[in-house]
Structure 1
């Protein structure tokens, strides 16, 4: 992932209502291996976050100036240092209105992945650890705590500039359920939340179930199509990318690559051509799971009707060819 520009500033603020202050770096970070490792680690963690929201920019205004500064940066009217400084000042101001907000290092990186340009902004904190030195001494070691990243956003600059009707070119980490701590960060970006990944993925899976149900497929064909869908959607989720319905349609049926895509359009499921995926929803679709009274059962969906059958009349689950390790435990128990 080639890095075009990067810089880091620091906002000093504690969650106690006191005014914040800002320390600005006056030059871009030099390109080196450490910076590349930081970007790679940051993107890996960011992509793995399940609680992301997607959206697009508010119209530029005094309340939402970020997109205007970004436009100036893209047009060459503002350099990267100036852009990041203005953005950090805005973030500091919004932090002061949130008693729970805590300062940190604000990292800006503009990079390219293939033909697509991105801007990632993250609020980073440090954690204390230990290391063994070259002198074989145990010493304290302070390092960035990427594992607990909870304030970050990524903007698909290419999508933003090339597709005027795009609705999901911004993604950001959303606060945990019931907490509004991250609202100021969303407002700092100036993002209008658009698609709901969980709802859109649920709708997609329902459309797929309707599609294969009407086709009355053989078990092997159904298994292959289900595997193609889950593999693609899960892969896009891991990479932090959207699901392109037309591309997915081609993977599901190579002989008739537009069949599923046209089915979704004609049935009017209300899905955009590209939707943000929710990996947890896909995983739940691919597995049946239940737990109660000391009994825990989990199996892949394609096994239903093959090795697993449910008898509704007797309210019984029949499992054929159970795992050998389980069988051995049961035999040992009888001895």
Structure 2
């Protein structure tokens, strides 16, 4: 069974004229042939690998950002009129493209599919590319094909996440400059960049990567400490951290594996944000408290034997206590 179980696929054209954009309707219900399945799978895979993504949710202003309204009508019709949905979305796309002089047209692919039990709508603008082919007579001739690898604008709406009121259910490629803003506006997405939330999610992703790679405790401590150093530098200088910068410095021998992990759409990580320094501390520090005590220590304390955790008894043993603490404890509770 295909990883992406396609429900509906449509393709239309957005053409840029001298004064405006024109919508040229194509097919609103493409048959799920092997080539169609392959194109959808490729687009989804390539989208997943792109690092410069942002995530958010629908803007509440449905008059100016009507995509949510169109999708709700499609949902209420039990997913039965994909043509009406995509034609309405094309009109919205054309209106938003008109706001950016540098915006370009292309073939607009819409795919509604299920993956891991969840419904998704993916939209990608794909251009054409020129290549060469051999004829039966062994002549070389020009052929035009879809430039799947070169798409610049794409987004994915987690329909199931939207209906269950998750915080982040829209993802899109941020692109360079502000040209991609029209595509974000077309999706109706409120760009959801919050430093604490984004940093907390990045910390969790880095920890899960270390676990998936089977790092031992020492290697994990080294990896997370290096990650904190890189991110903390960005936070101090108020420079947005990018996945490319982070992975190239953190894992120079194999940045692609870490980059693919961070770019996984299911993690819903925002790229390019200024990390929160307080949250970054959780990469290398443990902290806890009760009504009677507060405790905070670095991962290195476990590696160096200053702190011992007994998993069975769920207890911690502290060694090498600071002299001022032992003096005070001895004065209060010592035998002498």
Deviations 1:52-97 (A, max 9, x none): 1110001142101110110111111771100100110111112122
Give the corresponding residue for 1:139.
141
Change (3 A) 1:175 1:238: closer
Q: Which shows bigger deviation, 56-65 or 129-138? A: 129-138
Deviations 1:173-204 (A, max 9, x none): 1121xx11111111111101114699835874
Q: How does 1:160-175 map to 2 (within 5 A)?
A: 160-162=162-164, 164=165, 166-175=166-175
Give the CA deviation at 1:226. Answer: 7.0
Deviations 1:18-56 (A, max 9, x none): 122111135411110000110111112111211111100
Confirm whether residue 74 of structure 1 aligns to residue 75 of structure 2.
Answer: yes
Q: 2:185 aligns with which of 171, 184, 187?
A: 187
Give the corresponding residue for 1:34.
35
Give the corresponding residue for 1:92.
94
Q: 1:241 aligns with which of 249, 263, 266?
A: 266
Confirm whether residue 48 of structure 1 aligns to residue 73 of structure 2.
Answer: no
Structure 1 residue runs of 5 or longer lacking an equivalent are: 213-218, 245-259, 268-304, 306-335
* Distance in 2 between residues matched to 1:208 and 1:108, nearest whole Å: 32
Bigger-Rg structure (1/2): 2
Give the corresponding residue for 1:290.
none
* Distance in 2 between residues matched to 1:81 and 1:197, nearest whole Å: 39
Change (3 A) 1:139 1:266: farther
Give the CA deviation at 1:241. Answer: 1.6
* Distance in 1 between residues matched to 2:159 and 2:101, nearest whole Å: 32
TM-score, normalised to structure 2, is: 0.61
The answer to whether the 8 Å contact 1:53/1:173 transfers is yes
Change (3 A) 1:223 1:118: same
Q: 1:105 aligns with which of 107, 111, 114?
A: 107
The answer to whether the 8 Å contact 2:49/2:260 transfers is no
* Distance in 1 between residues matched to 2:206 and 2:23, nearest whole Å: 50
Q: How does 1:1-335 map to 2 (within 5 A)?
A: 1-14=4-17, 18-25=19-26, 27-76=28-77, 79-162=81-164, 164=165, 166-176=166-176, 179-195=177-193, 200-201=198-199, 204-205=202-203, 220-223=216-219, 236-242=261-267
* Distance in 1 between residues matched to 2:287 and 2:44, nearest whole Å: 33
Give the CA deviation at 1:227. Answer: 7.5
Change (3 A) 1:207 1:45: closer
Give the SS at the match of 1:102.
Answer: coil
TM-score, normalised to structure 1, is: 0.62
**Equivalences, count:** 238
* Distance in 2 between residues matched to 1:156 and 1:175, nearest whole Å: 20
* Distance in 1 between residues matched to 2:24 and 2:41, nearest whole Å: 25
The answer to whether the 8 Å contact 2:168/2:268 transfers is no
* Distance in 2 between residues matched to 1:173 and 1:125, nearest whole Å: 16
Give the SS at the match of 1:30.
Answer: coil
Structure 2 residue runs of 5 or longer lacking an equivalent are: 228-250, 270-281, 290-303, 305-336
